[in-house]
Chains A and B, each alone.
Chain A
Amino acid sequence: MQYYADLATMLLISLTAVVGVFALTGLTGLFSFGQGGFMALGAYTAVLSNMRLGVPYPLALLLGVLMAGSCSVLIGYPALKLRRDFFALATFGFGEAITAIFQMFTQVTGGTMGLPGIPRYTELWVALPVAAGAIFLVANFKKSKMGRQSIAIRNDELAAQALGIDVFRHKMVVFAFSAGLAGLAGGMQGFFIHYMDPRIFGWTTSVEQVITVYFGGINSLTGSVVSTLLLSTMPEVLRFASTWRVVIYAALIILTMNLRPQGLLGDWELTRSSARDQYRRLRRVPAEPQPAELEVR
């Protein structure tokens, strides 16, 4: 039982980070390859403040979020003025620099030897409401004015600017938001596995999150959630082929990208009405007659 609880906790932690990436990469079209770095910042801030200064767990998590968020403002201020591809490169350099710095200061962080003996506070009952809250936030973000502005910026930055959206400020807010979620996920992960070293927050972590969002479909938050569930549990389900699981995983992603470029779910979102439609389609119940649409002239 403990095994399934741990698996679910791990999954919920990654879910918290992935929905942040969904807001940044999926909706706003900004590629951050430094999310791992923000997770590392959140994790080390939370864990070190708890272990060295005795800050209680919830406050330590909050400190981690603030640390990741404020660092994202520091790095975002110059980086978001760059072209999008250079922004991706700058965040990549930032993420790698962060993990390299944590490896360098061996006295504080344990360096590559890692930081052992971290108390375990993150349990399923902590991770579940946190992840649910993150999903709720992002779902509302997508529906809000902010979310629609994000999509406008993703589709055509110049046109969005012409419509009066402060593109730079908007990107900054979304970047800080996703970095904060990454910091939260990092902090929870830090208090989960008793041990951490900077390498678990390298660029592969950031890339995995971007791949997860693309796998689910960049327009669908449900897609991101479903693909996190699939891609995180797949290694466990594929235990019979444990040594080959990452290869199978890679093959699946390549197949999806080649055959279904809009991602797993495309534009589909799970809402009350879309769920009802889906249910009707499965039970072959004819849809209710829709009220005739007003013709706009």
Chain B
Amino acid sequence: MYVVQQLINALSMGGVYALVAVGFALIYSILKFSNWSHGAVIMLSSYFGYVMAAHVGLPLIPTLVLTTVVGGFLAVIIEMIAFRQIRLKNGPIIYFFVTSITVSTGAQFAMYPTVGGNFFRWPDLISSTTIQLGGVTVSTLNLMMGGICLLALVVLNQILFRTRIGTAIRAASNDMRAAALMGVDINFVIAAAFFLSGALGGLAGTLMGISYTTYPEMGAEAMIKGFVAAVVGGLGSINGAVMGGILLALVETLVTMTPIGSSAAPVAVFAMLLVLLFVRPWGIAGKATDEKA
């Protein structure tokens, strides 16, 4: 029973990793670079959500909705400041990467002089109770987190596959030039993709804040998890990112349960990443492609 309980906890954590990884994969699929500024969005919206919940006193649902929207706008602003010029100048992909990682570091270090390196504990937005499900004790927090992640992923799926802008995003990720030639407004589509990615990041940041705390390094830490999950799933593949997130959380939980304990979890995670890269570098769900000369 203990194992089942741990696995259910892993699933809810995996949902959050999946949110981060999907937000990351969305940008990777269009602009083909690892967007580490996603960590900044996660961290900043988590702080925003903390202020809303603890100082303004908003209840759970409005806080979640607000941070989701704010996360989206943050990502759009970052795109305008850090990436747009490089993109318009047709700069090499690595420049996006370098600036994105700089944005993430800059945002993290901007927190220390302003709010300090403290861990902010959120007020109890949901009563921390447990329920019995056939002998398994599950906390309502974990159930709620899993549910919200699932809902967010379903909504994202609907947006990507049922709306015009979703179709445009998928077209741009397939071939940006061809999409532009067909009359798709690329600047708008990229802004929309950043908004969606940032919204997922904002939601993930809030959930991490609620279940743990909010602190300056949380963005970078979440990004490493989301990055590994996205790579394991197959870079740029959204379904793969979801699977990668859940797999990552399962591996972490299982390793923590072994006698070696939690100190082996990062070793196991990176060992898994290395083995996967050597055996199947395109990930679980990605497609094998050869580099074009």
The interface of chain A, by Cβ under 8 A from chain B, is 31, 78-79, 82-86, 89-90, 93-94, 96-97, 100-101, 103-104, 106, 111, 156-159, 203-204, 207, 210-211, 214, 243-244, 246-247, 249-251, 253-254, 257-259, 261
Q: Is B91 an interface residue (CB 8 A)?
A: yes
Report the Cα distance A261→B92, complex, angstroms: 9
Asked if A94 and B274 make an inter-chain contact with CB atoms under 8 angstroms apart, the answer reads yes
The interface of chain B, by Cβ under 8 A from chain A, is 81-82, 85-86, 89, 91-92, 94-95, 98-99, 101-103, 105-106, 109-110, 112-113, 224, 228, 231, 235, 260, 263-264, 266-267, 270-271, 273-274, 277-278, 281, 291, 293
Q: A90-B277, A250-B109 are in contact. List 13 more A-B contacts (CB 8 A).
A: A79-B278, A94-B274, A97-B270, A101-B267, A104-B263, A111-B263, A158-B293, A203-B224, A211-B98, A211-B101, A214-B94, A243-B113, A257-B86
Residues of A within 8 A of B235 (CB): 85
Report the Cα distance A203→B101, complex, angstroms: 11
Report the Cα distance A75→B177, complex, angstroms: 37
**Can you give 19 contacting A-B residue pairs, CB < 8 Å?**
A84-B291, A85-B235, A89-B273, A93-B277, A96-B224, A100-B266, A100-B267, A104-B264, A104-B267, A106-B263, A157-B293, A214-B94, A214-B95, A247-B110, A250-B102, A250-B103, A253-B102, A258-B86, A261-B86
Interface residue SS majority, chain B: helix
Most buried by B among A96, A103, A258: A258
Shortest Cβ distance from A206 into chain B, in angstroms? 11
Shortest Cβ distance from B38 into chain A, in angstroms? 15
Asked if B270 and A100 make an inter-chain contact with CB atoms under 8 angstroms apart, the answer reads yes
Which residue of the partner chain B has the closest CB to A98?
Answer: B270
Most buried by B among A31, A159, A211: A211
Shortest Cβ distance from A241 into chain B, in angstroms? 9
Shortest Cβ distance from B239 into chain A, in angstroms? 19
Known: A82-B277, A82-B281, A86-B281. A261 touches B95 (CB 8 A): yes
Residues of A within 8 A of B263 (CB): 103-104, 106, 111
Asked if A254 and B291 make an inter-chain contact with CB atoms under 8 angstroms apart, the answer reads no
Q: Identify which of A96, A207, A258 contacts B266 (C-beta below 8 A).
A: A96
Report the Cα distance A243→B117, complex, angstroms: 12
Which residue of the partner chain A has the closest CB to B282?
Answer: A86
Asked if A250 and B105 make an inter-chain contact with CB atoms under 8 angstroms apart, the answer reads yes
Residues of A within 8 A of B266 (CB): 96-97, 100, 103
Residues of B within 8 A of A244 (CB): 110, 113
Asked if B270 and A211 make an inter-chain contact with CB atoms under 8 angstroms apart, the answer reads no
Known: A158-B293, A253-B99, A258-B85. A93 touches B274 (CB 8 A): yes
Shortest Cβ distance from A19 into chain B, in angstroms? 19
Shortest Cβ distance from A266 into chain B, in angstroms? 14
Residues of A within 8 A of B112 (CB): 243
Report the Cα distance A85→B91, complex, angstroms: 17
Known: A96-B270, A211-B98. A83 touches B281 (CB 8 A): yes
Which residue of the partner chain A has the closest CB to B277?
Answer: A90
Asked if A214 and B98 make an inter-chain contact with CB atoms under 8 angstroms apart, the answer reads yes
Report the Cα distance A159→B274, complex, angstroms: 29
Asked if B89 and A97 make an inter-chain contact with CB atoms under 8 angstroms apart, the answer reads no
Report the Cα distance A246→B112, complex, angstroms: 10
Asked if B264 and A246 make an inter-chain contact with CB atoms under 8 angstroms apart, the answer reads no
Report the Cα distance A103→B270, complex, angstroms: 14
Residues of A within 8 A of B278 (CB): 78-79, 82, 90
Residues of B within 8 A of A83 (CB): 281, 291
Residues of B within 8 A of A78 (CB): 278
Known: A90-B277, A158-B293, A246-B105. A253 touches B98 (CB 8 A): yes
Shortest Cβ distance from A175 into chain B, in angstroms? 16
